[in-house]
Structure formats: structure tokens, C-alpha cells
Amino acid sequence: MTTIIVTGAIVLVLVLVPLSRIRVHLKFTRRGEDDRISMVVAWLKYLRYTLDVPLVDLLVRSHPAVRFKTKRGLSQTVPGGKPEETMVTLDYLFDVYRRYGDYLFALFYLAGRTRISRFRWYTEIGTGEVHHTGVAVGIAWAAKITLVTALFALSAPGTRPELAVFPNYEHRRFRTFLDCIFDVRIGHIMMTGMKALWRSRGERAWQWNRIPSKDL
């Protein structure tokens, strides 16, 4: 009897866990040069992970050997050596795409099964001159509409986005606030990992088959 109960509990967990959802509440605030990101990841409404740090600190934690330099691209510190600079050019971006672009299908699969339940994006722009501010506001509106349209086309939206761009004709100012909540099932995350792993193994097998038999 005990064996049946334990087996049933294990089966129940294996079925319910992939069907459960992870909710991510993401906030990004920028005021002048001050960037701050806040993220809360919740599972089953009881297990939570909270992150609330400046964006610069997050980049340093994630990539301690990478430093960003304005107008000069990336500067990467090699352990035991001198810093090496990599210019972010079109050739560099194409090279990154050639290396990792094949894995985009897995991300598109996950994005298509991610449900957005809240999306708010407010921005305030001021250049100090009226006509320049008007042009900047128009560009900001176009960029927002393009990005959000693409995002909602890839995902499973459960709400309408709230967008706003406020002009400030008196001061030089740039502020933005992004508030987004989205849910994704654990089963879909597991499937995404399996798809990426399958693609990686497929590439290795293809490269191995390209080696001439005389070289083996």
C-alpha cells in the first residue's frame, strides 16, 4: 500500500510540475544615468527569488571579465593577460549570429508559449529645445511601437500594452519606466532546453561526419 501511495505521489508530481507556471515580474527604471532593474521570480506563489540592483552591478555579476566602453565597443579582460578590445561592428554581429543563430528557434518556441499579463512602458524625453524634443518623441514612439509589436507577435499576449511618451519642453531629461509580468510553464522551459540540446548534438554529429575517414 505504501509503495502505491509513493508511486502515485511521484507520478502526480511529475505531471503537475511541468504544468505549473513560473511568474516573472520585471521592472526597469532609468533616470538620467541611473539605471535600476528589479525582478521577482515566483513559483507556486510560495517560492520567490528577488533581485533589485543597479543594471551596472548586474552586468558585473553576470560577466565579471567584461567591461563596457562608450563609443569603443566591448573591452574583455583575459585572465593572466592584457585587456582585449572587440569592436561591435556588423561583421562582429554577423559572426555572433552564425555561431548562435541556430539556437534562436528554441527561444522562439519558448517566446510563443510565454503569456504576458502586464506590459507598461512610460518614457519622458526633453532635449532643451522644443523642435528637437518633438522629433525625439516621434522617434521614441516609432521605436516603442515597433519593438512591442514584434514582442507581442512572438509571445502569447494576455493583455494590451500600455505605452506613453511624455515630452518635456523645459528641461533636458530622459526617464523611462518598464513594468512587465509574464508567465511560462516549466514544461515549456524543459522542452526549450531539450530542443537546444538536440540542436547542439546535431551540430556536433554533423561536424564529426565531415571529417574524412583517412584522418580518423
Least confident of 38-52, 65-79, 132-146, 184-198: 65-79
Q: Which of 24-33, 42-51, 131-140, 206-215 bottoms out in mean pLDDT, i.e. has the lowest? A: 206-215
Report the alpha-carbon distance of residue 30 to residue 122 in Å, rounded. Answer: 11
Instruction: Report pLDDT for 68.
Output: 42
Q: 3-state DSSP helix/strand/coil percent for the chain, to nearest 5?
A: 45, 35, 20
Bridge-based pairing state of the strands 47-54 and 156-157: unpaired
Task: Give the Cα-Cα-Cα angle 131, 133, 138 (nearest 5 degrees).
Answer: 100
Three-class SS state of 58: helix
Residue 141 has pLDDT above 90, yes or no: yes
**Do strands 156-157 and 115-127 pair parallel, antiparallel, or not at all (unpaired)?**
parallel
Residue 201 confidence (pLDDT)? 65
Please say if the pLDDT value at position 76 is more than 80.
no
Is it the case that residue 60 has pLDDT exceeding 90? no
Strand runs labelled E in the chain: 21-31, 34-43, 47-54, 66-69, 73-76, 84-86, 115-127, 156-157, 162-167, 172-185
Rounded to whole angstroms, the Cα distance separating 117 from 94 reads 34
Is 50 exceeded by the pLDDT of residue 103?
Answer: yes
Dihedral sign computed on CA atoms, order 141, 144, 150, 153: negative
Q: Tell me if 182 sits within 8 A of 22, measured CB to CB.
A: no
pLDDT digits (tens, 9 = 90+) for 26-39: 999 988 777 888 99
> What is the pLDDT at residue 138?
94
Question: Residue 5 has what pLDDT?
Answer: 74
φ, ψ of residue 79 in degrees (nearest 5) = -55, 125
Q: Which of 22-36, 96-110, 131-145 has the lowest mean pLDDT?
A: 96-110
Write down the mean pLDDT value for the chain: 76
From 41, 23, 35, select the one nearest 177 (Cα to Cα). 35
**Averaged pLDDT, 176-181:** 94
Q: How far apart are CA 199 and CA 65, in angstroms?
A: 28
Q: pLDDT (tens digit, 9 = 90+) per residue, 64-74?
A: 444 444 444 44
**Which residues share a beta bridge with 51?**
39
Residue with cell 518635456: 168
Half-sphere exposure of 43 (CA within 13 A, CB side): 11
Q: What is the mean pLDDT of residues 77-83?
A: 44
Q: With cut-offs at 50, 70 and 90, classify the pLDDT of residue 85.
A: very low
Question: Which grid cell is 34?
Answer: 541611473
pLDDT at 2 over 80: no
